[in-house]
Structure 1
């Protein structure tokens, strides 16, 4: 199965938690139906991305990255790559690359916990969001995409983040 077909399958089966998420799910499926390259950065009309907020082994904090280009605290994530077989694989790869943490695993049965559509310098991102669990003793390592990495308690997020990240962290807290 191709990455695009996996995304269609995942989104088709996903139980959206609310009407907004269900509308986004429908828009993502329409996008993928209209664009063969809708998973790839090359698609200028927008592309599906995958992200994961990382929860520590004690299930008390989340790891956020101070994104070098956007200069806001965000979850790990980004563009799908040809090596990714599934959306979940893409989310885990991005989380490993941006956090330096090996041994991450997805929570919520490996299913997405949310969707977020946002504009970026390259195009519109149709983000599929996951929650990843860090193994005990995990140590983060800042990548070249980040200015900083930091653990935050669920209820003590930094001021320079946005509502989408806050909503994702709230869903992560419900998941753990």
Structure 2
């Protein structure tokens, strides 16, 4: 049995890239469109839904605020497609992740603080805890729908893993 206390760190493109994409316009040169009334930022996330003829879908997840410290009792992964979370208002939320593998590697778990104006896109196969909201709110979610088993759960109830966070 493990006894882990995980404290999230600030996210940046470099420290998150092994898990997926940080969804932000920072560092991306926009294209001016609509006669200068809008800017378009391309290539901010690598969506992947094509395995086994899957389709990309857009959903809204209504998330409830989590309480901290929080017991981490499971992790999940989606081996057939990426999964992007974009808050629908200014908020901070958390990502709790582990690299791709047969099961979550407890020695490689990381947690990230995602600040206002940022989203995340988990690569296919990345272990993660479900959405960790710091307030009740909606998230725009882009992920895969289609044939195949795209949800694998791993029970961590026998482990003693705690996520600590001060809002």
Range of TM-score over shorter length: under 0.3
Q: TM-score, normalised by structure 1?
A: 0.26
Query: Which protein has greater RCO, CA pairs closer than 8 Å, 6+ apart?
Result: 2
* Structure exhibiting the larger radius of gyration computed from Cα positions: 2
Q: Higher strand proportion, which one? A: 2
